[in-house]
Amino acid sequence: MDLSDPSSSITLICAIAMVVGVFGVVVPMLPGLLLCWAAVLAWAVLAADGWGRWVELAAATLIAVAGITLKYLWPGRNLKRSEVPNRSLLLGGVLGVVGFFLIPVVGLPIGFVAGIFLAERMRLGTNEAAWPSTKHAVKAAGLAMLIELTAAGLIAASWVVTLVVT
């Protein structure tokens, strides 16, 4: 790879952004899927030649839209079925953000679980009643992360295939 060539430099920067994006799905506070899609967009506009770049951008866009849609619909449906109210999720989200700043990185999941548990404890009255709702919320958050990670991985993989093929 000739880094004096602007196209190669842009491709390298986009590859780094893609890797950060895939890891960003797992690391709280990084827009992982969006970063992967933006890396493909930047590569298609700034570095690539030919019609393959537009096919790749279209594929990445479809994958990103499907991932974002599924990320919210599928876990949300499971939470509605298990009757976890939005108020509990909101408190979990707020305490997750607070936890992220109090205990970097690991504070987000700790705060999220604590927030859900506290909200459900207040709503339902006992620890035994609050725990099943908390487990459902944690499973839904894990499913959302898995969906986003899969979409980011698919975008990265299709981009690498496009780089090799074109």
pLDDT at 2: 52
Residue among 124, 133, 59, 45 nearest 89 (CA): 133
Q: Tokens 């994958």, residue?
A: 63
pLDDT at 72: 85
Question: Can you give the residue ranges of every domain in the chain?
Answer: 6-165
Q: What is the sign, positive or negative, of the torsion defined by CA atoms of 138, 82, 118, 125?
A: negative
Model confidence at 156, pLDDT cuts 50, 70, 90, reads: very high
Instruction: Tell the burial category of 147 from Cβ atoms under 10 Å away from its Cβ (0-12, 13-18, 19+).
Output: buried
What percentage of the chain reaches a pLDDT higher than 90? 40
How far is it, in rounded angstroms, from Cα 50 to Cα 54?
A: 8
How far is it, in rounded angstroms, from Cα 28 to Cα 35?
A: 13
Phi-psi region of 29 (alpha: psi -120 to 50; beta: other; left: phi over 0): left
How does pLDDT run across 13-47, given as a tens digit for each residue? 999 999 999 998 887 667 889 999 999 999 999 98
Kindly report the average pLDDT of the chain as a whole number.
88
How does pLDDT run across 128-153, given as a tens digit for each residue? 989 998 888 888 888 888 999 999 99
How does pLDDT run across 114-132, given as a tens digit for each residue? 999 999 999 888 889 899 9
pLDDT at 50: 84
Query: Which residue type occupies 163?
Result: L
Distance of CA 59 to the CA centre of its chain: 18
Q: Is the pLDDT of residue 3 over 70?
A: no
Model confidence at 7, pLDDT cuts 50, 70, 90, reads: confident
How far is it, in rounded angstroms, from Cα 24 to Cα 32?
A: 4
Instruction: Tell the burial category of 106 from Cβ atoms under 10 Å away from its Cβ (0-12, 13-18, 19+).
Output: exposed
How does pLDDT run across 60-85, given as a tens digit for each residue? 999 999 999 998 888 878 777 888 88
Q: Is the pLDDT of residue 103 over 90?
A: no
